[in-house]
Amino acid sequence: MTATESGGEPSAEAMTPGLTPFARARAILGGSAGNLVEWYDWFTYSSFALYFAKHFFPKGDQTAQLLQAAAVFWVGFLARPLGAWLTGLYADRAGRRAALTLSVAMMCTGSFAIAILPDYSVWGSFAPICLVLARLVQGLSLGGEYGASATYMSEMAGRKRRGFWSSFQFMTLIMGQLTALAVLIVLQHALPTSALESWGWRIPFVIGALLAIVVFFIRMGLEESPSFLAAKAAGAERSRAMLLFTRFPRETATIFVLTSAGSLAFYAYTTYMQKFLVNTSGFSKDTATAISAASLLIYMLIQPVFGAVSDRIGRKTTLIFAFAAGTLATFPIMSAIAQTHSAGLALLMVVILLLFLSGYTAVNAVLKAELFPAHVRALGVALPYALANSIFGGSAEYVALWFKQAHMESGFYIYVAGLMAVAFLVALSLRNTNQHSLIAED
* Positive or negative torsion for Cα 98, 100, 103, 108: negative
- Structure confidence by residue, pLDDT tens digits, 279-316: 888 898 889 988 988 998 999 999 999 999 999 999 99
- Per-residue pLDDT band for 237 (boundaries 50, 70, 90) equals low
13-17, 256-260, 361-365: which has the minimum mean pLDDT?
13-17
Would you tell me which CATH number, out of the four given (1.10.390.10, 3.40.50.300, 3.40.50.970, 1.20.1250.20), belongs to the domain 12-428? 1.20.1250.20
- Per-residue pLDDT band for 230 (boundaries 50, 70, 90) equals confident
CA distances from 14 to 1, 19, 376 (A): 13, 15, 17
Q: What is the mean pLDDT of the chain?
A: 84
* Positive or negative torsion for Cα 317, 323, 326, 331: negative
Residue 17 has pLDDT above 60, yes or no: no
From its phi and psi, is residue 9 left (phi > 0), alpha (psi between -120 and 50) or beta? beta
Closest Cα partner for 215 from 17, 31, 416? 31
- Per-residue pLDDT band for 361 (boundaries 50, 70, 90) equals very high
- Per-residue pLDDT band for 400 (boundaries 50, 70, 90) equals very high
Neighbours of 291 (CB within 10 A): 24
Closest Cα partner for 164 from 24, 5, 295? 24
Alpha-carbon dihedral 123, 126, 129, 131, rounded to 10 degrees: -10
- Helix locations, 158-200, DSSP H: 162-190, 193-198
Q: What is the CA radius of gyration of the chain?
A: 21
35-49, 59-73, 249-263: which has the minimum mean pLDDT?
59-73
Residue 5 has pLDDT above 70, yes or no: no
Instruction: Compute φ and ψ for 410, nearest 5 degrees.
Output: -65, -20
For residues 347-355, give the mean pLDDT.
97
12-26, 324-338, 384-398: which has the minimum mean pLDDT?
12-26
CA 294/CA 301 separation, integer angstroms: 11
**Measured CA angle at 371 (ends 367, 374), to 5 deg:** 115
Q: Which residues contact 224 (CB under 8 A, 6 or more apart)?
A: 95, 96, 97
pLDDT at 441: 56
- Structure confidence by residue, pLDDT tens digits, 142-169: 888 878 888 888 877 777 778 888 888 8
Q: Count helices and strands (H / E) in the chain.
A: 21, 0
Residue type, 346: A
pLDDT at 238: 67
pLDDT at 125: 80
pLDDT at 291: 92
DSSP type of residue 372 = S
pLDDT at 322: 97
Alpha-carbon dihedral 61, 295, 352, 72, rounded to 10 degrees: 40
CA 386/CA 390 separation, integer angstroms: 6
Give this prediction's pTM.
0.79
Residue 9 has pLDDT above 50, yes or no: no
Percent of the chain clearing pLDDT 70 (strictly above): 90
Q: 25 or 295: which carries more pLDDT confidence?
A: 295
CA 400/CA 24 separation, integer angstroms: 41
102-116, 377-391, 407-421, 426-440: which has the minimum mean pLDDT?
426-440
Q: Do the Cβ atoms of 229 and 41 come closer than 8 Å?
A: no
Q: 390 or 334: which carries more pLDDT confidence?
A: 334
- Per-residue pLDDT band for 259 (boundaries 50, 70, 90) equals very high
Residue type, 55: H
- Per-residue pLDDT band for 328 (boundaries 50, 70, 90) equals very high
For residues 354-365, give the mean pLDDT.
94
For the chain, the structural domain boundaries read: 12-428
Q: 268 or 225: which carries more pLDDT confidence?
A: 268
Kind and range of the H or E run holding 306? helix 285-313
CA 392/CA 261 separation, integer angstroms: 8
CA 130/CA 390 separation, integer angstroms: 20
For residues 347-371, give the mean pLDDT.
93
pLDDT at 91: 86
- Per-residue pLDDT band for 62 (boundaries 50, 70, 90) equals low
Residue 99 has pLDDT above 50, yes or no: yes
The end-to-end CA distance of the chain, in Å, is 21
pLDDT at 371: 85
CA 382/CA 100 separation, integer angstroms: 13
